[in-house]
Structure formats: structure tokens, C-alpha cells
Amino acid sequence: MSFPKYPAYKDSGVEWIGKIPSGWLTAPLRAICTEKTAKNDPEITKYYLSLVANIGVIPYAEKGDVGNKKPEDLSKCKIVSENDFVINSMNFGIGSFGLSKYNGICSPVYIVLKVNDQFHINFFRYVFENKTYQTYCQSFGNGILAHRSAISWDILKGIELPFPPLPEQQAIAHFLDRECGKIDALIAEQERLIALLAEKRQAVISHAVTKGLNPNAPMKDSGIPWIGMVPEEWEVVRFSRLVAIAEGQVDPKKEPYLSMILIAPNHIESGTGRLLELTTAADQRAESGKYIYEAGAVIYSKIRPALAKVALAPLSGLCSADMYPLTSRGRLDQAYLAWLMLAPSFTAWAILESDRVAMPKINREKLNELMLPVPPLLEQIIIAEYITNETIKFDELVATANSAITLLKERRAALISAAVTGKIDVRAQSKALAA
């Protein structure tokens, strides 16, 4: 849908805004809202049963618990009222600001603002959602880390914002509420589709590696809780008889290891078996000992098994000491093994068996004792090929859905930017929506 422009424009004199409708003004943030700096009184904390975290307000118990974390000094927290606008000054950008739904307190690093009556609160919120505005503000910030952009009230308060007449602000906000609501509903629909495809993908893997592809095959009890029934022709064999886990580490600072591909847990996508990148030990400036493996090995992350990080190595190389390189002893197809270890039932077993609360891990002794369902070798190959082909179909559908989400988000951002800076005139559409 295309939208009309305003009859006449003028130069706003503000870099990030550009031209604005001739009837609009601009104003610095300090003229639009008031900063609230009142600190919390610890003696009355029990009356404030909420705490701002990230962009919102989350209820907390009288002791001040937020999840498992208790603020050490609530006297430094700022008081927040319902409908105050709260900004995370340490990470300014999308998702770091919002309207408080409660009366409560917030971290001292948040900026708390009370928007004055000349500015419509939802129009104000949409201005902050404008990516051009965010980028402009971030250019004045003093980022501490690459992914963070810290910005102070002293900087923000002087940045000019578009200031249409109040009825126009209301019309724009009403229009964006409706249009963004429609877009958000479409995004949610695509996200539900992605979740459903992920569930079906996992179901295909799980069924194929534990039940096979023949729906009419006679079944027997495997005797293993995480497997259940398996085809009669299948064996159930101990992991250590089927798979060798690499031992002994090499120094990645020395050749030929320095020039080899090095796979770490963060290089494998959770639950899919996809490698996200391939870089050398030299590129990663690796220092500690690594395992060496041959092309075709199954690489399994032994830490945080709930993430299900498993991949077939396309090339010979090294892997992190937090991973196990696994090689078949001859009776197990490597691709079948990889899919088996990506099955939800295997992951459920690994979660139950993992030790160390702070960092769950599967040790090699427990892995070696695991009993695996083993079809005849030819059937393993057929199953692995079937899963590969089916997951490609699911992945293509997910990619299409993700592309749709990207386009919808771009459309949403462009609509907000154009509306709040007056590049399009939505007054007529807003009246039509209200009618």
C-alpha cells in the first residue's frame, strides 16, 4: 500500500529527521519529557512489588528477588510509576526501552522519563522505535563492548525529535498501532510455522533412528527407556563397542595443527547439525590443547548437552577439548550416528545423565556405557539419506518463513520511520480506521 505525502515540507534542521511537514516543529527531548531521579527508600521497598528489568517491569517478592538474583542495595534504585518511559542507558537500541506497566523501582542505570501532556505517549514510543533515530543516538554513545552502546541523559536530552500537533500525533499513533499490529500478527504466524516445522523435523529424526522407515516392521522391546520399541532385526549395542572417542590432545600453536580447521561448540547450530563457520586454529588464536579428527568424524559437544550440538566434519581438523570426535569402529554409519545423537530422545538422555550443575557435561565413561539401537548397516545408510533429504525440505520451508519475517520487519520499521517523521500522511487512513 502506498500513502500520500503532506502538501508542503520544510527543512527540520535536524540531521536524522530531514524534511518535515510545514506544520510540524521539532523539540529536544528535555522539552518533551522530564527526567525522574528520585531514589528508592529501602524502608518502603515492600510497597514496591516490581522491578524494571531490561525494558519492562517484572514483579518480585518482598525480599527483592528477581529470578534467583537479589539486588544488593535497593536504595540506589530509581522509583518508577505506571506509564513512565524507561530506557536502559547501557544498551540503547531496540528492546532497551519501554513503558512501565507498574509502580515500582528500577536499576540506577535506567533513565526514567515522564512524558508531558503535549506529547502522545504512543507516538513518543514509536519515535524511539525509529531505527534512524536509534542509530543517530548511538553515534553519540560510548560503547563499552562491541554489542553495547551506552548513552547518558545528558546526551539524549539535547537530541531533537519531530513534534507534530497533538491531534496528529494521536492519529499517527493510532494508525501505527493498527498497521504494526497487523504486521506483528503476520510475524507471529510465521514464527509459529517455524516452531511447528522444527517440531516436525525433530519428530522425523527421532522416529527414523529409533523405529526405522518400515511402518509394518515387527517390533520388540529394546530394554532401553529412552529408545522403547525397535524393529526386531535391530540390535542394541553398547556405545564403546561401536564408536571410538578420540584421546590425546595436540598443540594448536604448532604446525601442522595451526593451519587446520578448528571446530568449537559455538560453530555448530543447536539441534540442526549445521556448521555455522569453518576457521583455522590460527584464525582463532587457539592456545589450549585440542583433539584431532579425520574428515567424516562426528563432532559432539559434551558441555551443555541440552543444546544438542552435533555435526559431521566435512574436513579433517581439530576440535575443542569441550567436544568429542567420534569415529565408527565399522558397524555404525557415521551419518546415522550423527542423526541418532541429534534425536530429541538422545538429548533427553544426555540431559538426565549430564553432571556438574554449573556447567552440565557428558563424560566419556557415561557415553561409552550408553546402549544404541543398531539397524543393519545398509538400513542405517538408507535412514541417514532419508533424514538428510527430509530435513532439507524442512530447512527450505524455515528459510522461506525467515525471509518473510525479515521482509515484514523491514516493512514495519520503514512504516514507523516514514510516519513519525512525516514522510507519509496517514491522517486520512487513521480517520478511516476510527470510523
Task: For each of the domains in the chain, give its residue range(s) and CATH number, in order of start.
Answer: 25-163 (3.90.220.20), 213-374 (3.90.220.20)
Question: Comparing C-alpha atoms, which of 291, 310, 289 is closest to residue 299?
Answer: 310
Q: What angle do CA 315, 317, 321 make, to 5 degrees?
A: 135
Non-local CB neighbours of 285 within 8 Å, separated by 6+ positions: none
Contact 138, 149 (CB under 8 A): yes
User: Percent of the chain having pLDDT more than 70?
Assistant: 88
User: Percent of the chain having pLDDT more than 90?
Assistant: 72
Cβ atoms within 10 Å of 149's Cβ, excluding its own: 22
Residue 51 has pLDDT above 80, yes or no: no
Q: Which residue has the higher pLDDT, 309 or 137?
A: 309
Residue 332 has pLDDT above 70, yes or no: yes
Residue 197 has pLDDT above 50, yes or no: yes
Cell 539441534 belongs to residue: 271
3-state helix, strand, coil in the chain (%, to 5): 40, 20, 40
The answer, as to whether pTM is greater than 0.75, is yes
Q: Which residue has the higher pLDDT, 12 or 431?
A: 12
| pLDDT bucket at 220, cuts 50 / 70 / 90 | very high
Which of 23-32, 77-86, 283-292, 412-421 shows the lowest mean pLDDT across its residues? 77-86
Mean pLDDT score, 242-250:
94
Mean pLDDT score, 332-346:
96
Q: Which three cell numbers stand for residue 426?
A: 496517514
Contact 184, 415 (CB under 8 A): no
Residue 149 has pLDDT above 70, yes or no: no
Q: Which three cell numbers stand for residue 303?
A: 558441555
Q: In this predicted model, what pLDDT tens digit does every residue of 66-114 receive, in sequence order?
A: 333 444 567 778 888 888 999 988 877 766 888 888 888 888 888 999 9
Question: Comparing C-alpha atoms, which of 230, 253, 264, 244 is closest to residue 372?
Answer: 230
Cβ atoms within 10 Å of 401's Cβ, excluding its own: 20
Mean pLDDT score across all residues of the chain: 88
The per-residue DSSP string of 185-241 comes to HHHHHHHHHHHHHHHHHHHHHHHHHHH-S-TT--EEE-S-TTT-EEETT-EEEEHHH
The per-residue DSSP string of 301-361 comes to E-BSGGG--EEE-SS-EEE-TTEEEEEE-SSS-HHHHHHHHHSHHHHHHHHHH-B-SSS-B
Q: Which residue has the higher pLDDT, 82 or 22?
A: 22
Q: Which residue has the higher pLDDT, 148 or 411?
A: 411
Q: In this predicted model, what pLDDT tens digit does every residue of 343-366 receive, in sequence order?
A: 999 999 999 888 665 678 998 999
Non-local CB neighbours of 153 within 8 Å, separated by 6+ positions: 35, 89, 111
Cα separation, 139 vs 135, in Å, equals 6
